[in-house]
Chain A
Amino acid sequence: MVFLPEQLYWLRSYKMNYKLVINPYTQKEQGVYLNGNTSNFIPFDPDNTDYQAYLKWVAEGNTPEAAE
């Protein structure tokens, strides 16, 4: 699932949420799980378009769930 910049405003209607993922070895945030599904991983990579959509979601005032 890739959201394009022209479609980002639809993210709100999707009621999406994200959950942070911590790398167990580095203890740094390495990505998020989409809608709490651990099969739906989005890496913190600036060139990844799903990550760009996540940043837009955060910029709109949303906050991801904390990592477990």
Chain B
Amino acid sequence: MAYGTVNADVIGTSVAGSNLGAGNATLMKNRILNGSMVIDQRNAGAAISAANLTGYTVDRWSYTASQTLKFTAQQNQGSVTPPAGFTNYLGFTSQTAFSPASSDFTGVFQAIEGYNWQDLGYGTANAKAVTASFWVYSSLTGTFSGALRVYGYARSYPFSYSVPVANTWTQITINIAGDTGGTYNTGNNGAVLLTFNLGSGSTFLGTGGAWTASNLFGTTGSVNVAGTNGATFYITGVQLEVGSSATGFEYRQYGQELALCQRYCNAFVFANSAGFTYNASGGGNYIVSYYTIPNMRTTPSSTGSSVTFASSYNVSDATPSIVTYTSAMFGLGLHSSASGNTYGVFTGTALLAAEL
């Protein structure tokens, strides 16, 4: 073995209960972003609407469902004490007693970008095994399930796990074999989705423990959280790492975690702080441009923005229009109502999304 080569799943340390994983053990160990559920740019701790089929809860985590009004989701929903080492979790509460038809699905997932997965060699003979670990708390007990799915949904690896005691945090570890089949994005599009099943029909459930050429959310016979009105499912400390052993959760500095999330969602806050002024010699259009930090995954959308004028003079618009130009630049457009000085101050938030 060449000097400096690491060829093991686990590197033992002298600290009791701690090991280093293989595969760049201390850099980019956890492929999941915001696994501790601490960043919540969109909602700032508020619940997302149960009327939506899909929606981002805390950063990078999306709820998905085939029917509306099945769950509410919120950071620290229910206000239980998180497991030791964490201050936040992502909570779901069932809003009905739902018996899924075969084509129904509900779940929560995080899509991982190809750039952050390509080194694992998925879709090749060199595909590496990974290990998922997380903490779960539910009002229900039994065998729950989830899946690692290919972005594009052509393949999946369902898994199951046991929650033996209700309303108690349980740490789960899942070993997932590398996938030598399929096609995986290696650039700025999605590669895989780590998915937790909240209640799905037979079309989206199957046998666990192996890669299959279908889009599965979990395993047949697993707990249907959506089936019990008021049932809860809370999760935090999610990690997905190379190798066959779960190691300690990779904590990141808050600013580092926020910056990583801002590649996909950037809540650009104006808050009465961004002024503009120009001389409209003949009236017309004007665009005020801003740069995002960091660069986003791709040119973002601006859906959900709330930018308005805190004050304005000689502006004919009730709110500025928004356009995005590149992965790092967007603009606020406005019209002068007459020739002469035009000025004002923006307030609100431009919510820019370049999600997967």
Q: Are A2 and B322 in contact (CB under 8 A)?
A: no
Contacts from B to A (Cβ < 8 Å): 53-56, 62, 64, 66, 105, 152-153, 188-189, 215, 285, 297-307, 319-325, 333, 353-356
How far is A2 from B297 in the complex, measured between Cα atoms in Å?
A: 14
Counted as pairs of residues, one from A and one from B, with CB atoms less than 8 Å apart, the total is 89
Chain B residues with Cβ below 8 Å from A41 are 301-303, 321-324
B301 contacts A48, C-beta separation under 8 Å: yes
CB closest residue in chain B, given A34: B303
A1-B55, A49-B356 are known contacts. Are A30 and B323 too (CB-CB below 8 A)? yes
Decide: A49 and B53 in contact? CB cutoff 8 A: no
**Taking each of A7, A40, A43, which has the highest tally of chain B beta carbons within 10 Å of its own beta carbon?**
A43
Q: Which chain A residues lie closer than 8 Å to B55 at the CB level?
A: 1
Report yes or no: B356 in contact with A39, Cβ–Cβ below 8 A: no
A60 neighbours in B (Cβ, 8 Å): none
Indicate if A61 sits at the interface (CB-CB under 8 A): no
A18 to chain B, nearest CB (A): 12
Query: Contacts A1-B304, A45-B299, A47-B188; is A24 near B285 (CB within 8 Å)?
Result: yes
Within 8 A of B (CB), among A19-44: 21, 23-24, 30-31, 33-34, 38-43
C-alpha gap A48/B299 in the complex (Å): 7
Q: Residues on A close to B: CB < 8 A?
A: 1-7, 10, 21, 23-24, 30-31, 33-34, 38-43, 45, 47-51
Question: Is A45 within 8 A of B298, CB to CB?
Answer: yes
A7 to B204, CA, bound (A): 14
Which residues does chain B contribute within 8 Å of A47, judged by CB atoms?
188-189, 297-299
Hey, which chain A residues are within 8 Å of B353, CB to CB? 1-2, 50
What 5 A-B pairs are tightest by C-beta distance, nearest first?
A38-B321, A47-B298, A45-B299, A50-B301, A43-B299
